[in-house]
Amino acid sequence: MSSDLTVIVLAAGGGTRMKSQTAKVLHQIAGRSMIDHVLTAVRALDPHQVVAVVGHQREQVGPHIQALMPEVTLAVQDEQRGTGHAVRVAVEAAGTTSGTVLVAAGDTPLLRGESLRDFAQEHEAAQCAVSVLSGVVDEPFGYGRIVRNHEGDVEAIVEEKDANAEQRGIREISSGILAFDAEFLIEALPRLGNDNAKGEYYLTDTVGLARDAGLTVGAFPIDDWRQTEGANDRVQLAELGRELNRRIVEQWMRDGVTVMDPATTWVDADVTLAPDVILLPGTQLLGATTVAEDAVVGPDTTLKDCEIGAGARVVRAHGELAVIGAGAVVGPFSYMRPGTELGPGGKIGAFVETKNSRIGDGAKVPHLSYVGDADVGAGSNLGAGTITANYDGFNKNRTTIGRDVRIGVDTMLIAPVEVGDSAYTGAGAVIKDDVPEGALAVSENAQRNIDGYAADKAAKMREEQDT
């Protein structure tokens, strides 16, 4: 492929059918915006230059694109006068003069870099002035039709609204992805007219111009048409989201991951899974989550930006920015908030919430606890109902628990507080002061039994009813 490749991504359109405050190309599937998926495909071509055309909601779209691809050139199209006009704006902004120019849209999230590369290579090998990535579909409605002559050469692309009845019957359609010889493109763009059904400057009219000039025009069909499909409303967004997820999950299965129920398993594009991971139904792995070999996740678990160690087991849990060590056990019904780090062989059990805490190797928080802003040493055990009272009404304070500590059930640790190695706390203790290494801390009040209380109470209630 030519080393002199310019890619133009069109993203100026309004996206009115989304009915959203968020620009169309910023809507997400598989954890990335639509335009992020397109730019990822574009990046695989290693282009000399990338130009993004922005217009509608450009105060959102522009910075988003720049954050994803700092080297991008942004071209502003103030008024959306058609794809031909958009490309003209882009070419002027980029100062493109030679090589190959590839034009794609920003709303086709299933697009793959390999497909763009194959298309650009076909275009260059056939020495075309202009080429279109086409597709043969059952329902061509709405798309530009590829009109071929008797020899099969491409004559024109005719838009839906401009097509006659015969042309509407053509099932080969334009994906909207086109490739150009830059010199031809620069010469053709000012010659495009807008005397058509939409009153727009159609980029696709360059095909007719090339034909008239006796230049070579190519139409190269893609087998996997869905890669070129755009999402114009939220119904299509969900459909493409489901299809992309199906593809991602299928690829992980081919790479050695067991997925019991692909239909209820959602894996974002940036997730990494090792061979022999097992995903049970209802699992969502989001963001940059990684799962190491032999770990079992699910059922009914959502993990965002988490790191799960080899052989760990995570059952019915919700986690974000948590790191779970090898062989550790989590769940069921555990809530791991950002900054949770569970060491190898450790446990975060049922109805336990953790936040910004390091729980050491083999340490366990088995039941009904809140552990926030705490350090728990290796081998320690926190009894049922342990609470770190980390907030004093003004500041968040840390609780530090040493190694091999035994915290009794229902202990309240009023931070800042430190419990030394191998220390104990009694059931129901309220720990406000540091506990020395090896000590037992108790703080309960003496118990008093009031005999006959139930009968006295019943009598009192009868009396009140009578008066």
Of 85, 123, 318, 367, catalytic: 367
CA separation, residue 345 to residues 9, 82, 341 (Å): 49, 60, 12
Distance separating the N- and C-terminal Cα atoms of the chain = 99
Considering the rule CB under 6 A, would residue 110 count as an interface residue with ligand UD1? no
* Nearby residues of 200 by Cβ (< 8 Å), 6 or more positions away: 81, 82, 83, 84, 85, 194
**Of 148 and 432, CB closest to ligand UD1:** 148
Q: Identify the residue among 83, 96, 134, 388 touching ligand UD1 (CB under 6 A).
A: 83
The answer to whether 27 is a known catalytic residue is no
Calpha distance 49→101 (Å, rounded): 10
CB count within 10 Å of CB 283 equals 24
HSE of 135, CA atoms in CB hemisphere, 13 A? 19
Q: Identify the residue among 36, 159, 268, 307 touching ligand UD1 (CB under 6 A).
A: 159
Element (H, E) at 368: strand 364-372
Calpha distance 76→59 (Å, rounded): 11
**Of 196 and 272, CB closest to ligand UD1:** 196
**Of 227 and 400, CB closest to ligand UD1:** 227
CB count within 10 Å of CB 70 equals 7
β-sheet bridge partners, residue 357: 340
Considering the rule CB under 6 A, would residue 85 count as an interface residue with ligand UD1? yes
**Of 38 and 292, CB closest to ligand UD1:** 38
**Of 80 and 216, CB closest to ligand UD1:** 80
Q: Is 344 exposed, middle or buried (0-12, 13-18, 19+ CB in 10 A)?
A: middle
Contact present, 426 and 445 (Cβ < 8 Å): no
**Of 25 and 326, CB closest to ligand UD1:** 25
CB count within 10 Å of CB 453 equals 9
Q: Find the part of the chain contacting ligand UD1 (CB under 6 A) among 83-91, 114-122, 326-334, 346-354.
A: 83-91
- State which of positions 226-245 bind ligand UD1 (CB under 6 A): 230
- State which of positions 196-225 bind ligand UD1 (CB under 6 A): 202-204
Considering the rule CB under 6 A, would residue 107 count as an interface residue with ligand UD1? yes
Q: How many helices (H) and strands (E) does the chain have?
A: 9, 39
Calpha distance 329→342 (Å, rounded): 9
In this structure, what are the phi and psi dihedrals at residue 76, rounded to the nearest 5 degrees? -100, 125
Considering the rule CB under 6 A, would residue 345 count as an interface residue with ligand UD1? no
User: Cβ 174 to ligand UD1, closest distance in Å?
Assistant: 4
Considering the rule CB under 6 A, would residue 36 count as an interface residue with ligand UD1? no
- State which of positions 5-34 bind ligand UD1 (CB under 6 A): 10-13
Considering the rule CB under 6 A, would residue 172 count as an interface residue with ligand UD1? no
CA separation, residue 129 to residues 55, 85, 206, 390 (Å): 28, 19, 9, 68
Q: Identify the residue among 8, 86, 209, 271 touching ligand UD1 (CB under 6 A).
A: 86
Element (H, E) at 372: strand 364-372
Calpha distance 226→246 (Å, rounded): 13
Considering the rule CB under 6 A, would residue 135 count as an interface residue with ligand UD1? no
Q: Identify the residue among 26, 42, 102, 105 touching ligand UD1 (CB under 6 A).
A: 105
Q: Identify the residue among 109, 144, 327, 362 touching ligand UD1 (CB under 6 A).
A: 144
Q: Which residue has the tokens 């620069």?
A: 186
Q: Identify the residue among 31, 47, 99, 106 touching ligand UD1 (CB under 6 A).
A: 106
Q: Find the part of the chain contacting ligand UD1 (CB under 6 A) among 81-89, 258-266, 284-292, 455-463.
A: 81-89
Residues in contact with ligand UD1, counted by CB under 6 A, come to a total of: 27
User: Cβ 81 to ligand UD1, closest distance in Å?
Assistant: 5
**Of 157 and 330, CB closest to ligand UD1:** 157
Least Cα distance to 385 among 370, 401, 374, 395 occurs for: 370
Contacting positions for ligand UD1 (CB under 6 A) = 10-13, 53, 77, 80-83, 85-86, 105-107, 143-144, 157, 159, 173-176, 202-204, 230
User: Looking at the annotation, which residues are catalytic?
Assistant: 367
